[in-house]
């Protein structure tokens, strides 16, 4: 143990139950809550995923520059030596230690003068099961330097909830509000239903899966009505399979609208949560707009049946005014680019044309009122 501590910068003193093991003895957690969007069959695939999505390169650089910092133990499941907390650190150590792995992943170590050696052993703390690990994997991990995204939080919260924990306990651990955790768990359960019915998270229109689209949509009264879920259920204890069998087709349709399914030639309708999700909610609450959306899969066309042209014009005009004000406030940053100057000239012509059209319309309205 003494030799191990000499090879790593130790911040927190070891607990009586901590042990030191060789990093090569440890295995990755293929059921890690962060791995919600992929199935991995090998250690190489896990490390590749962490490199792409968890900024492992930052850890590699830190270890090579300053040495492995023993700020806390890796949390390890006794059965199989599976790392429940610390997979990023394990991935960084694997990459530093294994040249063949780096070659397969086409990864090059950062150039560091006098790189520090890896420790021969690292501090771990064994647990008998995942439930026992939850007291260690708390707020500072989930909301730490590399925060878990909403989907990872949702999976973690749902699994813990399924083990019998109450929403209040989970909320305190995650550092989120009571209602937020309920929404996350409800969203996770709905997602699992959709996946069981054929929704493929790897075939969505966009590169990243915006889980907030789903769990936010499920709080809207019009969406809940479309899915056959009562408003009372929104504040109730989460239940598995929240969408009734009678409305599972509607769930599949909603998922397609929210995310798209490339293999079916169905692009997403949501380019940004605001305003598109609000517009979708309004359309689903309007019978004619909903029929138009189902028939043409065009959110703009469907919305035209819901909101009068005057309301949509007012919204567009106010947004344009706000954006022009923002650009004007930043005009001191203009560097003289002639292309941008042409854009401003075009905006000026458009505004003049708009102003003329609005005045003409106002005069005609006054004339009609005088008749």
Six-digit token string for 310: 């005057």
Asked if residues 226 and 250 have their Cβ atoms less than 8 Å apart, the reply is yes
From the list 6, 88, 18, the residue with the least C-alpha distance to 46 is 88
> The whole model's pTM is what?
0.64
pLDDT by residue (tens digit) across 44-97? 999 998 898 878 988 898 899 889 988 889 999 999 999 999 999 999 999 999
The length of the chain in residues reads 371
Domain residue spans of the chain? 2-131, 150-268, 311-370
Task: Compute the Cα dihedral for 173, 177, 179, 185 and give only its sign.
Answer: negative
pLDDT by residue (tens digit) across 309-344? 787 788 889 989 999 999 999 999 999 999 999 999
Mean pLDDT (the chain, rounded): 87
Task: Compute the Cα dihedral for 90, 95, 96, 101 and give only its sign.
Answer: positive
| pLDDT number for residue 315 | 83
Name which residue leads in pLDDT, 138 or 333. Answer: 333
Name which residue leads in pLDDT, 365 or 107. Answer: 107
pLDDT by residue (tens digit) across 294-304? 999 999 999 98
The alpha-carbon radius of gyration of the chain (Å, integer) is 27
Asked if residues 193 and 255 have their Cβ atoms less than 8 Å apart, the reply is no
Task: Give the phi and the psi of residue 75 in degrees, each rounded to 5.
Answer: -90, 120
Mean pLDDT of 129-147: 72
Task: Compute the Cα dihedral for 240, 243, 249, 252 and give only its sign.
Answer: negative
Six-digit token string for 327: 């650009």
Where would I find the beta strands (DSSP E) of the chain? 9-10, 19-21, 69-70, 74-77, 82-85, 122-127
């Amino acid at each position: 143990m003494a030799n191990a501590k000499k090879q790593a910068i130790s911040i927190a003193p070891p607990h009586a139950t901590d042990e030191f093991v060789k990093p090569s003895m440890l295995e990755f957690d293929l059921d890690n809550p962060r791995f919600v969007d992929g199935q991995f069959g090998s250690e190489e695939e896990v490390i590749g995923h962490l490199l792409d999505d968890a900024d492992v390169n930052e850890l590699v650089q830190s270890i090579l520059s300053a040495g492995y910092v023993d700020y806390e133990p890796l949390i390890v499941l006794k059965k199989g030596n599976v790392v429940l907390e610390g997979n990023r650190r394990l991935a960084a150590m694997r990459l530093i230690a294994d040249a063949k792995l780096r070659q397969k992943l086409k990864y090059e170590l950062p150039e560091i003068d006098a790189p520090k050696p890896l420790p021969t052993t690292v501090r771990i703390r064994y647990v008998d099961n995942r439930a026992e690990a939850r007291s260690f994997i708390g707020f500072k991990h989930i909301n730490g330097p590399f925060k878990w995204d909403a989907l990872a939080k949702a999976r973690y919260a749902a699994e813990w909830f399924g083990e019998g924990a109450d929403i209040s306990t989970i909320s305190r651990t995650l550092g989120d509000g009571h209602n937020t955790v309920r929404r996350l768990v409800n969203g996770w359960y709905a997602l699992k239903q959709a996946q069981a019915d054929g929704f493929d998270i790897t075939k969505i229109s966009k590169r990243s899966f915006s889980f907030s689209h789903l769990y936010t949509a499920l709080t809207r009264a019009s969406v809940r009505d479309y899915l056959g879920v009562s408003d009372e259920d929104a504040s109730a204890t989460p239940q598995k399979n929240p969408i009734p069998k009678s409305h599972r087709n509607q769930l599949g349709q909603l998922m397609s609208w929210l995310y798209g399914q490339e293999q079916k030639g169905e692009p997403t309708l949501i380019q940004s949560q605001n305003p598109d999700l609000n517009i979708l909610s309004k359309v689903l609450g309007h019978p004619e707009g909903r029929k138009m959306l189902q028939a043409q899969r065009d959110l703009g066309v469907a919305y035209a049946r819901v909101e009068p042209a005057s309301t949509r014009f007012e919204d567009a005009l106010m947004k344009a005014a706000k954006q022009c004000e923002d650009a004007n406030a930043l005009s001191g940053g203009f560097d003289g680019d002639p292309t941008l100057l042409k854009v401003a000239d075009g905006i000026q012509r458009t505004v003049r044309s708009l102003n003329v059209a609005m005045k003409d319309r106002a005069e005609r309205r006054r004339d009609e009122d005088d008749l």
